[in-house]
Amino acid sequence: MEKLTNKEEEIMKILWRLKKAFVKEIMEEISVNKPHYNTLSTIVRNLEEKKFVGFIAYGKTHQYHPIVSKESYYKAYVNEDMVGYFDNSYKNLVSFFAKEEKISVKELKEIINLIENNK
């Protein structure tokens, strides 16, 4: 599975949320730095070529849907980022967010609870 560009990830997040959409509907969901319709259409076709989305044709228009799940994509690339940025250590990952105050004590306790209950 290929890593997506930031813009491709943004489009995939929209498709994962909507489940299926025409380019026009995807465009409506973009609030910041809205691309030109043709640019967005090209990005979606690139996602199709990369086998991230499929489509159903309705005449000349296409309704797109995700083929790759959000979970499988994030599983592949969170691990890659962890190796690159956190020396392959989940402890380093969590402590980074704790030091940056991006995770609360309550959330850390919830994570500990999840770990203890999944054994």
pLDDT in tens, 16-45: 999 999 999 999 999 888 999 999 999 999
Low-confidence ranges of the chain (pLDDT < 70): 119
Quick one: CA torsion of 10, 73, 92, 85, rounded to 10 degrees?
-70
Angle formed at CA 15 by CA 30 and CA 82, multiple of 5 degrees: 95
pLDDT at 93: 81
pLDDT at 119: 61
User: How high does pLDDT run on average in the chain?
Assistant: 90
Q: By CB neighbour count within 10 A (0-12 exposed, 13-18 middle, 19+ buried), where does 9 fall? A: middle
pTM (2 d.p.): 0.74
pLDDT at 58: 96
* Phi (first) and psi of residue 33, to 5 degrees: 50, 55
Cα 70 from Cα 98, distance rounded (Å): 25
Percent of the chain residues past pLDDT 90, beyond the cut:
56
